[in-house]
Amino acid sequence: MPIKNRFAELLPEITEWRRDIHQHPEILFDTHRTAALVAEKLEAFGCDEVVTGIGRTGVVGLIKGRESGSGKVIGLRADMDALPIEEATGVDYASKTPGAMHACGHDGHTAMLLGAAKYLAETRNFDGTVAVIFQPAEEGGGGGREMCEDGMMERFGIQEVYGMHNWPGKPVGSFSIRPGAFFAATDVFEIEIEGKGGHAAKPHETIDTTVMASHIVLAMQSIVSRNADPVKNIVVSVTSFETDSKAFNVIPQKVTLKGTVRTMDPEMRDLAETRIGEIAAAQATVFGGTAKLDYQRNYPVMVNSEAETEFAADVARGISGECEEAPLVMGGEDFAFMLEERPGAYILVGNGDTASVHHPEYNFNDDAIPAGCSWWAEIAEQRMPIS
Protein backbone atom coordinates (compact mmCIF):
# COMPACT_ATOMS: atom_id res chain seq x y z
CA MET A 1 0.00 0.00 0.00
CA PRO A 2 2.38 2.74 -1.15
CA ILE A 3 1.32 6.28 -2.07
CA LYS A 4 -1.72 6.13 -4.29
CA ASN A 5 -0.99 6.80 -7.96
CA ARG A 6 -4.05 9.05 -8.16
CA PHE A 7 -2.40 11.56 -5.82
CA ALA A 8 0.73 11.65 -7.95
CA GLU A 9 -1.57 12.56 -10.85
CA LEU A 10 -3.40 15.16 -8.77
CA LEU A 11 -0.23 16.71 -7.32
CA PRO A 12 -0.04 19.70 -9.73
CA GLU A 13 -3.72 20.51 -9.13
CA ILE A 14 -3.52 20.15 -5.34
CA THR A 15 -0.32 22.23 -5.32
CA GLU A 16 -2.16 24.96 -7.22
CA TRP A 17 -4.93 24.95 -4.59
CA ARG A 18 -2.37 25.10 -1.80
CA ARG A 19 -0.50 28.03 -3.29
CA ASP A 20 -3.70 29.94 -3.95
CA ILE A 21 -4.67 29.52 -0.28
CA HIS A 22 -1.12 30.52 0.69
CA GLN A 23 -1.46 33.82 -1.18
CA HIS A 24 -4.66 34.68 0.68
CA PRO A 25 -4.07 33.92 4.38
CA GLU A 26 -6.87 34.56 6.84
CA ILE A 27 -6.63 34.82 10.63
CA LEU A 28 -8.63 32.98 13.29
CA PHE A 29 -12.35 32.85 12.40
CA ASP A 30 -12.06 35.27 9.46
CA THR A 31 -11.47 32.37 7.04
CA HIS A 32 -14.31 33.44 4.76
CA ARG A 33 -12.48 33.19 1.43
CA THR A 34 -10.84 29.90 2.35
CA ALA A 35 -14.10 28.39 3.60
CA ALA A 36 -15.89 29.48 0.43
CA LEU A 37 -13.16 27.94 -1.73
CA VAL A 38 -13.34 24.69 0.25
CA ALA A 39 -17.13 24.53 0.00
CA GLU A 40 -17.04 25.27 -3.73
CA LYS A 41 -14.57 22.47 -4.38
CA LEU A 42 -16.42 19.96 -2.20
CA GLU A 43 -19.58 20.71 -4.16
CA ALA A 44 -17.69 20.28 -7.42
CA PHE A 45 -16.27 16.95 -6.24
CA GLY A 46 -19.80 15.66 -5.79
CA CYS A 47 -19.93 15.42 -1.99
CA ASP A 48 -23.33 14.26 -0.83
CA GLU A 49 -23.70 17.19 1.54
CA VAL A 50 -21.69 20.34 2.18
CA VAL A 51 -22.46 22.39 5.28
CA THR A 52 -20.91 25.78 6.04
CA GLY A 53 -20.97 28.03 9.09
CA ILE A 54 -20.20 25.34 11.67
CA GLY A 55 -18.19 26.84 14.51
CA ARG A 56 -18.71 30.21 12.79
CA THR A 57 -16.73 29.59 9.59
CA GLY A 58 -16.05 25.84 9.58
CA VAL A 59 -17.04 23.56 6.70
CA VAL A 60 -18.04 19.88 6.73
CA GLY A 61 -18.48 17.73 3.63
CA LEU A 62 -20.10 14.30 3.72
CA ILE A 63 -19.05 11.56 1.30
CA LYS A 64 -21.02 8.31 1.32
CA GLY A 65 -19.33 5.07 0.37
CA ARG A 66 -20.51 2.54 -2.18
CA GLU A 67 -21.92 0.59 0.75
CA SER A 68 -23.44 1.81 4.00
CA GLY A 69 -24.08 -1.37 5.97
CA SER A 70 -21.34 -0.66 8.52
CA GLY A 71 -23.09 2.49 9.70
CA LYS A 72 -19.68 4.00 10.44
CA VAL A 73 -18.89 7.70 10.12
CA ILE A 74 -15.22 8.71 10.19
CA GLY A 75 -14.13 12.35 10.54
CA LEU A 76 -10.99 13.70 8.85
CA ARG A 77 -9.98 17.18 10.00
CA ALA A 78 -7.76 19.94 8.58
CA ASP A 79 -7.24 23.50 9.86
CA MET A 80 -7.59 26.55 7.60
CA ASP A 81 -6.29 29.62 9.46
CA ALA A 82 -3.00 31.50 9.14
CA LEU A 83 -0.83 33.52 11.53
CA PRO A 84 -0.27 37.27 12.07
CA ILE A 85 3.30 37.13 10.75
CA GLU A 86 4.94 39.09 7.93
CA GLU A 87 6.10 36.56 5.32
CA ALA A 88 9.79 36.42 4.39
CA THR A 89 9.93 33.36 2.10
CA GLY A 90 10.47 35.24 -1.15
CA VAL A 91 8.39 32.72 -3.12
CA ASP A 92 6.44 34.00 -6.11
CA TYR A 93 3.15 32.94 -4.49
CA ALA A 94 3.86 34.71 -1.19
CA SER A 95 1.10 36.22 0.93
CA LYS A 96 -0.73 39.16 -0.60
CA THR A 97 -2.07 40.17 2.80
CA PRO A 98 0.30 42.40 4.81
CA GLY A 99 1.01 41.04 8.27
CA ALA A 100 -0.48 37.60 7.65
CA MET A 101 0.97 34.36 6.31
CA HIS A 102 0.51 30.60 6.39
CA ALA A 103 3.46 30.06 8.71
CA CYS A 104 2.23 26.74 10.10
CA GLY A 105 1.24 24.86 6.95
CA HIS A 106 -2.53 24.97 7.37
CA ASP A 107 -2.69 25.81 3.67
CA GLY A 108 -1.05 22.44 3.05
CA HIS A 109 -3.36 20.62 5.45
CA THR A 110 -6.43 22.10 3.77
CA ALA A 111 -5.15 21.29 0.28
CA MET A 112 -4.26 17.70 1.24
CA LEU A 113 -7.68 17.06 2.75
CA LEU A 114 -9.31 18.54 -0.35
CA GLY A 115 -7.21 16.15 -2.45
CA ALA A 116 -8.30 13.20 -0.31
CA ALA A 117 -11.94 14.36 -0.56
CA LYS A 118 -11.73 14.50 -4.36
CA TYR A 119 -10.34 10.97 -4.49
CA LEU A 120 -12.86 9.56 -2.00
CA ALA A 121 -15.76 11.18 -3.87
CA GLU A 122 -14.48 9.66 -7.11
CA THR A 123 -13.91 6.13 -5.82
CA ARG A 124 -16.22 5.71 -2.78
CA ASN A 125 -14.38 2.48 -2.06
CA PHE A 126 -15.55 2.20 1.54
CA ASP A 127 -18.54 1.06 3.60
CA GLY A 128 -19.87 4.02 5.56
CA THR A 129 -19.53 7.82 5.48
CA VAL A 130 -16.56 10.15 5.55
CA ALA A 131 -16.94 13.60 7.08
CA VAL A 132 -14.20 15.94 5.88
CA ILE A 133 -13.84 18.72 8.47
CA PHE A 134 -12.26 22.08 7.66
CA GLN A 135 -11.73 24.06 10.85
CA PRO A 136 -11.02 27.76 11.44
CA ALA A 137 -9.11 29.36 14.31
CA GLU A 138 -6.70 26.65 15.40
CA GLU A 139 -4.04 29.26 16.15
CA GLY A 140 -5.34 30.37 19.53
CA GLY A 141 -9.03 30.84 18.72
CA GLY A 142 -10.33 27.43 19.71
CA GLY A 143 -12.11 26.71 16.44
CA GLY A 144 -12.16 22.99 17.27
CA ARG A 145 -14.02 23.73 20.47
CA GLU A 146 -16.47 25.98 18.60
CA MET A 147 -17.25 23.28 16.03
CA CYS A 148 -17.84 20.70 18.78
CA GLU A 149 -20.02 23.11 20.78
CA ASP A 150 -21.98 23.71 17.58
CA GLY A 151 -22.97 20.03 17.73
CA MET A 152 -20.84 18.83 14.82
CA MET A 153 -20.16 15.33 16.18
CA GLU A 154 -23.81 14.61 16.95
CA ARG A 155 -25.20 16.30 13.85
CA PHE A 156 -23.16 14.17 11.46
CA GLY A 157 -22.92 11.07 13.65
CA ILE A 158 -19.12 11.14 13.69
CA GLN A 159 -17.74 8.15 15.61
CA GLU A 160 -13.96 8.59 15.18
CA VAL A 161 -11.83 11.54 14.10
CA TYR A 162 -8.31 11.82 12.63
CA GLY A 163 -6.01 14.80 12.13
CA MET A 164 -2.57 15.55 10.72
CA HIS A 165 0.16 18.19 10.97
CA ASN A 166 3.28 18.70 8.89
CA TRP A 167 6.57 18.54 10.79
CA PRO A 168 9.75 20.36 9.67
CA GLY A 169 12.96 18.43 10.25
CA LYS A 170 11.43 15.05 9.44
CA PRO A 171 12.02 13.48 6.00
CA VAL A 172 9.34 14.44 3.49
CA GLY A 173 6.42 12.04 3.60
CA SER A 174 7.60 10.15 6.70
CA PHE A 175 5.27 9.77 9.67
CA SER A 176 5.43 9.76 13.46
CA ILE A 177 2.80 9.40 16.16
CA ARG A 178 2.39 8.47 19.82
CA PRO A 179 -0.51 7.14 21.90
CA GLY A 180 -1.85 8.99 24.92
CA ALA A 181 -0.84 12.54 25.80
CA PHE A 182 0.84 14.08 22.75
CA PHE A 183 0.46 17.90 22.64
CA ALA A 184 0.39 20.01 25.81
CA ALA A 185 -2.36 21.94 27.49
CA THR A 186 -1.81 25.62 26.70
CA ASP A 187 -2.83 28.32 29.16
CA VAL A 188 -2.22 32.06 29.12
CA PHE A 189 -1.84 34.55 31.93
CA GLU A 190 -1.73 38.29 32.45
CA ILE A 191 -0.49 39.96 35.63
CA GLU A 192 -1.36 43.61 36.21
CA ILE A 193 1.12 45.18 38.64
CA GLU A 194 0.50 48.54 40.24
CA GLY A 195 2.76 50.68 42.39
CA LYS A 196 3.31 54.41 42.61
CA GLY A 197 4.69 56.16 39.57
CA GLY A 198 6.94 59.16 39.65
CA HIS A 199 10.13 60.86 38.51
CA ALA A 200 13.04 58.51 37.86
CA ALA A 201 15.33 60.92 39.73
CA LYS A 202 13.26 60.44 42.90
CA PRO A 203 12.83 56.65 43.19
CA HIS A 204 12.39 56.93 46.97
CA GLU A 205 9.08 58.69 46.36
CA THR A 206 7.78 55.86 44.18
CA ILE A 207 6.85 52.21 44.43
CA ASP A 208 8.84 50.96 41.46
CA THR A 209 6.74 48.64 39.32
CA THR A 210 9.60 47.71 36.99
CA VAL A 211 11.67 46.36 39.89
CA MET A 212 8.59 44.63 41.30
CA ALA A 213 7.75 43.02 37.95
CA SER A 214 11.36 41.96 37.39
CA HIS A 215 11.37 40.10 40.70
CA ILE A 216 8.09 38.41 39.79
CA VAL A 217 9.52 37.23 36.45
CA LEU A 218 12.63 35.82 38.12
CA ALA A 219 10.72 34.20 40.99
CA MET A 220 8.38 32.46 38.54
CA GLN A 221 11.34 30.52 37.18
CA SER A 222 11.34 28.57 40.46
CA ILE A 223 7.97 26.99 39.61
CA VAL A 224 9.60 24.59 37.19
CA SER A 225 12.92 24.21 39.02
CA ARG A 226 11.67 23.98 42.61
CA ASN A 227 7.91 23.35 42.75
CA ALA A 228 7.21 20.91 39.92
CA ASP A 229 8.00 17.21 40.02
CA PRO A 230 11.21 16.99 37.92
CA VAL A 231 9.95 14.01 35.93
CA LYS A 232 6.83 15.86 34.77
CA ASN A 233 6.58 18.22 31.81
CA ILE A 234 5.89 21.91 32.43
CA VAL A 235 6.91 25.19 30.79
CA VAL A 236 6.26 28.63 32.29
CA SER A 237 7.25 31.53 30.03
CA VAL A 238 6.81 35.27 30.47
CA THR A 239 6.64 36.63 26.94
CA SER A 240 5.64 40.27 27.35
CA PHE A 241 6.69 43.06 29.76
CA GLU A 242 4.80 46.31 29.14
CA THR A 243 4.75 49.55 31.15
CA ASP A 244 2.32 52.43 30.92
CA SER A 245 5.17 54.82 30.15
CA LYS A 246 7.58 55.14 27.22
CA ALA A 247 9.62 57.94 28.80
CA PHE A 248 13.26 57.67 29.91
CA ASN A 249 12.69 59.58 33.12
CA VAL A 250 9.43 58.13 34.44
CA ILE A 251 8.91 55.21 36.82
CA PRO A 252 5.60 53.79 35.58
CA GLN A 253 2.48 53.42 37.67
CA LYS A 254 1.61 50.09 36.08
CA VAL A 255 3.35 47.14 34.46
CA THR A 256 1.60 44.27 32.68
CA LEU A 257 3.22 40.85 32.30
CA LYS A 258 1.89 38.27 29.86
CA GLY A 259 2.90 34.70 29.25
CA THR A 260 2.01 31.07 28.70
CA VAL A 261 2.01 27.79 30.64
CA ARG A 262 2.37 24.38 28.98
CA THR A 263 1.61 21.18 30.92
CA MET A 264 0.89 17.52 30.27
CA ASP A 265 -1.31 16.67 33.25
CA PRO A 266 -3.92 18.36 35.49
CA GLU A 267 -1.70 18.34 38.59
CA MET A 268 0.98 20.47 36.93
CA ARG A 269 -1.67 22.75 35.44
CA ASP A 270 -3.19 23.40 38.89
CA LEU A 271 0.27 23.90 40.40
CA ALA A 272 1.26 26.50 37.81
CA GLU A 273 -1.90 28.55 38.23
CA THR A 274 -1.66 28.50 42.03
CA ARG A 275 2.04 29.35 42.22
CA ILE A 276 1.90 32.15 39.65
CA GLY A 277 -0.82 33.83 41.70
CA GLU A 278 1.02 33.34 44.99
CA ILE A 279 4.37 34.55 43.67
CA ALA A 280 2.91 37.64 42.01
CA ALA A 281 0.94 38.66 45.09
CA ALA A 282 3.80 38.01 47.53
CA GLN A 283 6.47 39.80 45.49
CA ALA A 284 4.20 42.79 44.98
CA THR A 285 3.50 42.97 48.71
CA VAL A 286 7.22 42.94 49.52
CA PHE A 287 7.69 46.10 47.43
CA GLY A 288 4.49 47.77 48.62
CA GLY A 289 2.48 47.30 45.45
CA THR A 290 -0.28 45.04 44.18
CA ALA A 291 -0.51 42.32 41.53
CA LYS A 292 -3.69 40.94 39.98
CA LEU A 293 -3.56 37.67 38.03
CA ASP A 294 -5.86 36.77 35.14
CA TYR A 295 -5.20 33.09 34.31
CA GLN A 296 -7.07 31.52 31.40
CA ARG A 297 -7.12 27.81 30.67
CA ASN A 298 -7.00 27.47 26.93
CA TYR A 299 -6.46 24.20 25.02
CA PRO A 300 -6.48 20.92 26.98
CA VAL A 301 -3.88 18.19 26.59
CA MET A 302 -4.35 16.47 23.23
CA VAL A 303 -4.67 12.74 23.91
CA ASN A 304 -4.51 10.12 21.16
CA SER A 305 -6.69 7.03 21.72
CA GLU A 306 -4.67 3.81 22.02
CA ALA A 307 -6.44 1.60 19.44
CA GLU A 308 -6.95 4.39 16.91
CA THR A 309 -3.31 5.43 17.22
CA GLU A 310 -2.08 1.93 16.43
CA PHE A 311 -4.41 1.79 13.44
CA ALA A 312 -3.20 5.20 12.22
CA ALA A 313 0.42 4.08 12.61
CA ASP A 314 -0.26 0.88 10.63
CA VAL A 315 -1.74 2.97 7.81
CA ALA A 316 1.31 5.25 7.86
CA ARG A 317 3.70 2.28 7.79
CA GLY A 318 1.91 0.98 4.73
CA ILE A 319 2.51 4.28 2.94
CA SER A 320 6.06 5.19 3.95
CA GLY A 321 7.46 1.89 5.23
CA GLU A 322 7.74 3.01 8.84
CA CYS A 323 6.14 5.21 11.46
CA GLU A 324 8.35 6.46 14.29
CA GLU A 325 7.22 7.18 17.83
CA ALA A 326 6.86 10.93 18.09
CA PRO A 327 8.20 12.90 21.05
CA LEU A 328 5.97 14.79 23.45
CA VAL A 329 5.22 18.25 22.06
CA MET A 330 4.83 21.20 24.43
CA GLY A 331 3.00 23.15 21.75
CA GLY A 332 -0.78 23.20 21.83
CA GLU A 333 -3.29 21.80 19.34
CA ASP A 334 -7.02 22.38 19.51
CA PHE A 335 -7.75 19.07 17.81
CA ALA A 336 -7.69 18.14 21.51
CA PHE A 337 -11.32 19.27 21.76
CA MET A 338 -12.39 16.84 19.05
CA LEU A 339 -10.45 14.00 20.69
CA GLU A 340 -12.25 14.77 23.96
CA GLU A 341 -15.52 14.20 22.12
CA ARG A 342 -14.58 11.12 20.09
CA PRO A 343 -11.76 8.53 19.92
CA GLY A 344 -9.18 9.15 17.24
CA ALA A 345 -5.58 10.02 16.50
CA TYR A 346 -3.35 12.84 15.31
CA ILE A 347 -0.23 12.14 13.25
CA LEU A 348 2.81 14.11 12.04
CA VAL A 349 3.96 14.01 8.39
CA GLY A 350 7.49 15.09 7.47
CA ASN A 351 7.97 18.50 5.83
CA GLY A 352 11.68 18.03 5.13
CA ASP A 353 14.57 20.36 5.92
CA THR A 354 12.57 23.58 6.15
CA ALA A 355 12.28 26.50 8.52
CA SER A 356 10.29 25.72 11.65
CA VAL A 357 6.61 26.46 11.91
CA HIS A 358 5.66 29.97 13.12
CA HIS A 359 8.76 31.37 11.40
CA PRO A 360 8.54 34.05 8.66
CA GLU A 361 10.63 31.88 6.30
CA TYR A 362 8.58 28.71 6.80
CA ASN A 363 6.79 27.22 3.80
CA PHE A 364 4.78 24.03 3.47
CA ASN A 365 6.59 21.46 1.30
CA ASP A 366 4.36 20.46 -1.61
CA ASP A 367 6.31 17.22 -1.99
CA ALA A 368 4.55 16.00 1.18
CA ILE A 369 1.11 16.22 -0.46
CA PRO A 370 0.87 12.68 -1.92
CA ALA A 371 1.79 11.02 1.40
CA GLY A 372 -0.65 13.16 3.37
CA CYS A 373 -3.51 12.62 0.94
CA SER A 374 -2.82 8.88 0.85
CA TRP A 375 -2.91 8.63 4.64
CA TRP A 376 -6.29 10.31 4.91
CA ALA A 377 -7.74 8.24 2.06
CA GLU A 378 -6.42 4.99 3.52
CA ILE A 379 -7.81 5.85 6.96
CA ALA A 380 -11.27 5.91 5.39
CA GLU A 381 -10.86 2.86 3.17
CA GLN A 382 -9.20 0.64 5.78
CA ARG A 383 -11.37 1.68 8.71
CA MET A 384 -14.52 1.07 6.67
CA PRO A 385 -13.59 -1.72 4.22
CA ILE A 386 -16.10 -3.04 1.74
CA SER A 387 -16.86 -6.68 2.60
pLDDT tens digit string along 16-31? Answer: 999 999 999 999 999 9
Indicate where the chain has its CATH 3.30.70.360 domain(s): 185-299
Return the SS3 of 35.
Answer: helix
**382-to-111, 127, 349 alpha-carbon distances in Å:** 22, 10, 19
Q: How far apart are CA 251 and CA 36, in angstroms?
A: 51
Residue 148 labelled as part of a binding site? no
For the domain made up of 5-183+302-383, the CATH class stated in words is alpha beta
SS3 state at 223: helix
Give the span between the Cα atoms of 321 and 176, in whole angstroms: 12
Contact indicator for 178, 153 with CB cutoff of 8 Å: no
**72-123 pLDDT per residue, tens:** 999 999 999 999 999 999 999 999 999 999 999 999 999 999 999 999 999 9
Comma-separated ranges of CATH 3.40.630.10 domains in the chain: 5-183+302-383
The pTM of this model reads 0.95
Amino acid at 135: Q
Beta sheet of 344-352, edge-to-edge order: 49-54, 58-64, 129-135, 73-79, 160-168, 344-352, 175-177, 323-325
> 60-76, pLDDT tens digit by residue?
999 999 999 999 999 99
Look up residue 77 and give its amino acid.
R
**Which pairs with CB-CB distance under 8 Å and at least 24 residues apart come from 140-143?**
140/28, 140/298, 141/28, 141/29, 141/81, 142/298, 142/299, 142/334, 142/337, 143/28, 143/29, 143/55, 143/56, 143/58, 143/79, 143/81, 143/334
Which pLDDT score, from 0 to 100, does residue 332 have?
Answer: 96
Helix axis angle for 306-320 and 369-383, nearest 10°, is: 130
Contact 138, 333 (CB under 8 A): yes
Return the active site residues: 81, 138
Element (H, E) at 18: helix 5-23
Ramachandran class of 27: left when φ > 0, alpha when ψ lies in -120 to 50, beta otherwise:
beta
- Say whether 22 counts as a known binding-site residue: no
358 is in an annotated binding site: yes
- Answer whether residue 3 shows pLDDT above 90: no
Residue 102 annotated as part of some ligand binding site: no
Does residue 106 have a known ligand-binding role? Answer: yes
**CATH (one of 1.10.10.1100, 3.40.50.300, 3.30.980.20, 3.30.70.360) for 185-299:** 3.30.70.360
